[in-house]
Each structure stands twice: as C-alpha cells, then as structure tokens.
Amino acid sequence: MHANPAVDAVADRSRPPAAGRLVVDAPTRMFHALFALSFAGAYATADSEHWRLLHVSLGYVFAGLLGFRVLYGLLGPRQARLALLWRRLSGAAAWLRSLPAATSPAAVHWRQGQNLAMALAIAAMLALALPLAVSGYGTWNEWGDALEDVHEVLGNALLAVVLAHLALIVLLSVLRRQNQALPMLTGRVAGSGPDLVRRNRAWLAGLLLLAVLAFGAWQWQDAARRPASAGDGASMTDPHGHDAGRASRHDGDDD
C-alpha cells in the first residue's frame, strides 16, 4: 500500500502540536509567581499606613518564599539546584577572557552572553531579597531609624533589577523569536527531546500555595479580632500587636 503525500500532509496539519519538553517543575514555577506577586504587592503598599498590615504580611510571605527557594535549591532536584546558577556565574570570567580571542563563533558567544546576563539578574534578585527582608523586619520592630532608609534603598534596588530582568526577557524573546517567559508559566519549551524534569511535583507546588493562603487567612482573622487603633487614620495592627500608626506618629514629630 503506497502512502499518499496529500493525505499525509492533511493528517499532519490536523494533528495537535507537540506539548514540548518539560524544563521547569511546578514548585519552581509556583515560587516564581508567588515571589513576584508578594514583592509587587509589598512595594505598592510600602508608603500607605492604611495598608501597613498587608505590607508587613507580604514581607513575611516574601521571606518565607525565599527560605523555601534556598532549601529547594539545596535539597531539590538537579534542574532546580542553585548550583546550576553558580556554575553559570562562575563561567563569567572565562567568557570575558575569551571575547578578544574569538575562538568560537560570534553567535555562540552572543548566546552565552545572554544566558550569563540572565543568570546575573537572577542572582542579584536573590542576593537583594535577604537583606531587604531583614531590614524590613528590623524597621517594623524599631531596631534603628537608619534601617528604614536602608530598607527603602534595597526595595528600590530590587525593583530596578526586576525591571532589568523583565526587559532582558522581552529582548531575548525578540532576538530568539520565542517567548522566554512562557516556560516559567507552562514549564515547557517547544521542540522535541527528553524532558529535563522527571517529576513535576505538582503536589509540592499545591502545598506551597496552600501555606501562603493559610498564612494570609490567619493574618486577616488576627487583624479582625483586634480592636482598631486610633491615630492618623491607621486602623490596623500587625500580628504581634505593633501599632500600624507608629510610622505616622514618627512623621508627625518632624512637623
């Protein structure tokens, strides 16, 4: 029986496209989404006394997610290990030294530089996240007035790195003609070949989301049980009983 090329072509067009390769597991994708949302929410509410409890709560979520990522990067599967990020960064010096020699094709060098820039942006975000969380906690617990300025500077610095990271994703998407943000949403990249992720671990991603939602619900209920505090329109207290109008009173001291 001879094959009919026309029939085969129609069959190929009607066949659903391949799902692609799984390269990012579910816990990493969930962390990425929650981490981005918690920082965006905390930054947006940083200057509002009315939303002070939300700002503090998002700060705790931000710090907790960072702790999860460090543990997952140390104990998790190979493709999620922080060692891979370090390996890319450790090749920066060799890449810079190889530029004048041009021992490899320009396209290869250019792509290596793109990957290195992305790794640097990710490392910078993770490096800024810890002192940002610590300075925020210290500011709320009044460890010193200078910490408030440090916290603000670190928040703006992290925002700048995040915006640079997003701009780099857009640039690489244009240069490579492929959506570079999609793998962090779907976990997959187009093309054939073996999956880099053997186990998606959707259950762990679900637990991470439930933990964040449970913490948010606990904060909300705790705030609802506490009496509203008077002063400068601030009506929220944090879970440890700190007056959310405290910063407003400090501002009034300068008048």
Residue 182 lies in a domain: yes
Q: Quick check: is 27 in a domain?
A: yes
| Residue 211: pLDDT over 70 | yes
pTM assigned to the model: 0.78
Report if residue 4 sits inside a domain.
no
Q: Band of the pLDDT at 191, cuts 50, 70, 90?
A: confident
What confidence category does residue 84 fall into, taking pLDDT thresholds of 50, 70 and 90? confident
Per-residue pLDDT at 64: 97
In a domain, 9, yes or no: no
Q: Read off the amino acid at residue 117.
A: A
Domain assignment present for residue 48? The answer is yes
- Evaluate whether residue 135 is within a structural domain: yes
The answer to whether residue 1 sits within a structural domain is no
Q: How far apart are CA 202 and CA 207, in angstroms?
A: 9
| Domain range for 55 | 21-252
If pLDDT is split at 50, 70 and 90, which confidence band does 14 have? very low
13 in a structural domain: no
Provide the number of structural domains found in the chain: 1
Instruction: Please report the pLDDT score of residue 106 as a whole number.
Output: 59
What does the pLDDT look like over 90-139, one tens digit per residue?
877 776 777 666 555 555 667 777 778 888 999 999 999 999 999 999 99
